[in-house]
Structure 1
Amino acid sequence: MNVVFDIGNVLIQWDPRALFRKIFASEDEVEWFLANVCTHDWNLEQDRGRSFEEAVAAATALHPEHEGAIAAYHLRWHETVIGPIAGTVEILEALNAQGTPLYAITNWNQDKFRETRKRYPFLGHFRDIVVSGDERLVKPDPAIYRLLLERNRLEASSCLFIDDSPRNVAGAEAIGMRAHHFSSPDGLRAHLARSGILKA
């Protein structure tokens, strides 16, 4: 069985609140900013390949009073990357040690991912990583899953996809991949053991 990981919030914890709690005085201000200025949909366009420079300019034009905070999303972006999720990294290491073929599909801006990859050597265990920003495709678009399969000559039914987003899990299942909705390393470990993928 080929195991295909999502990366953000499965192997590496990411949360923009970690940065903006240092910038704003209250949790309400943080939540308002992320809901109205640097929103999920705005960030998704960077995952789709838009440069952060272009994104910052677009958001600043709409919200000039938040120019500094918007710029921080780009210039201090690594403060949104909290660190590895140790339990999942241990699972990844165990799968790699036993020779399981490992792949990844991640919604991640291409430039920020290249910077992040240098910080986390365990990302080198993957035979291939499909990065949304490079491909101008984001999960759960069926095309991004098919790209991994076609590029690596894999059958969908031979792959187990792991993601923390129910929508992305459903997207993988829709093209014939097996899938696991990630909620914790312990839950993932149990699923892999039950499936006979992770050896004792």
Structure 2
Amino acid sequence: MINTIIFDLGAVLIDWNPHYMYRTLFSDEQEMKNFLAEICTSDWNEEQDAGRALQEGTDILVARFPEHEANIRAFYGRWSEMLGEPFHGTVELLKQLKASGKYKIYALTNWSAETFPVALERYDFLGWFDGIVVSGTEKMRKPAPEFYQILLDRYQVEANEALFIDDNYRNILAAEKMGIKSIHFTSSEQLEAELKGLGVL
């Protein structure tokens, strides 16, 4: 029986997208996409999510691509401009689950410890969680099984009594291997239907 719900944050509850900021720096959309695909890549950003200092990550790229220094430094220098609106449909589902009083509700997020305080200040609903485990603080990230285990151990959660929600299928597979029932998030409408199907809502 499910008694614990574990949410991912980015792309599930919070709309974070580097395009929002970089569209103010690039006049050509394809040029911007190439920059994010080849220089400030997702893999590079995930190293900061796993605990590497923002300054160190930035300096590494500037040394490799000095001609792009200004745009590289903007990634974290103007990072807050990458934060968009909350996904209101998902926030409403979180609110319903919390109000039901039936579940402990946690977040497990790949997020830099240095930038996460900005999100905490901006999004009130982050205060609704019974606990949040941040990859940058723990110096490991999804899909490492040890990262999921931190949450299970810290909050005395049994894997077979938890439900995990994430937009990244890689992270879903890792959770399921640990015996955690999971929902691959694609939209708040799809999530609502799946939660109802499981009898959680």
TM-score after normalising by structure 1: 0.97
- Structure-2 residue corresponding to 1:42: 44
- Structure-1 residue corresponding to 2:112: 109
2: distance between equivalents of 1:153 and 1:97? 21
- Structure-2 residue corresponding to 1:82: 84
Unaligned 5+ residue runs, structure 1?
Answer: none
- Structure-2 residue corresponding to 1:183: 186
C-alpha displacement of 1:54: 1.2
> Secondary structure of 1:111's partner?
coil
- Structure-2 residue corresponding to 1:24: 26
C-alpha displacement of 1:53: 1.2
- Structure-1 residue corresponding to 2:96: 94
2: distance between equivalents of 1:41 and 1:11? 22
- Structure-2 residue corresponding to 1:119: 122
CA deviation profile, 1:115-155 (whole Å, cap 9, x unmatched): 21111110111111110000111101001111100111110
2: distance between equivalents of 1:105 and 1:183? 17
C-alpha displacement of 1:79: 1.0
Q: Percent identity?
A: 45
2: distance between equivalents of 1:124 and 1:35? 33
CA deviation profile, 1:76-108 (whole Å, cap 9, x unmatched): 101111120010000001111111210010000
- Structure-2 residue corresponding to 1:52: 54
| Pairing partner for 2:68 from 58, 66, 69 | 66
C-alpha displacement of 1:18: 1.2
Give the alignment's Cα RMSD to 1 decimal: 0.8
C-alpha displacement of 1:70: 0.7
TM-score after normalising by structure 2: 0.96
- Does structure 1 residue 170 correspond to structure 2 residue 200? no
Unaligned 5+ residue runs, structure 2?
Answer: none
CA deviation profile, 1:152-187 (whole Å, cap 9, x unmatched): 111000000000000000010000000000000001
CA deviation profile, 1:13-48 (whole Å, cap 9, x unmatched): 111111111111111111110111111111011100
C-alpha displacement of 1:51: 1.4
After TM superposition, which residue ranges in structure 1, 4 or more long, deviate above 4 angstroms?
A: none
2: distance between equivalents of 1:10 and 1:113? 16
| Pairing partner for 1:149 from 123, 129, 152 | 152
1: distance between equivalents of 2:36 and 2:118? 23
